[in-house]
Amino acid sequence: MKVRSSLKSLKNRHRDCQVVRRKGRVYVINKTDPRFKARQG
C-alpha cells in the first residue's frame, strides 16, 4: 500500500478504483487489481 498526499490522480489510474473513508483516513481500494491500493496522509 502506498501512502500519498493526494489520491485524486491515483483514482484515475484504473476504472475499478474507489475512494473510501475509514476511521478518518482516505483510502483508494481496488478489488480487481490490489496493487492500486493507497492511503492518504
pLDDT-above-70 percentage for the chain = 100
- Counting the structural domains of the chain, the total is 1
Residue 28 burial (10 A CB sphere; 0-12, 13-18, 19+): buried
Helix ranges (H only) for the chain are: 8-11
> What letter would DSSP give residue 40?
E
Q: Looking at the predicted structure, is the pLDDT value of residue 41 above 90?
A: no
pLDDT-above-90 percentage for the chain = 78
| Nearest CA-CA partner of 4 in 26, 23, 24, 20 | 26
pLDDT band at 25 (very low <50, low <70, confident <90, very high): very high
Average pLDDT over the chain reads: 92
Q: Which domain holds residue 6?
A: 2-40
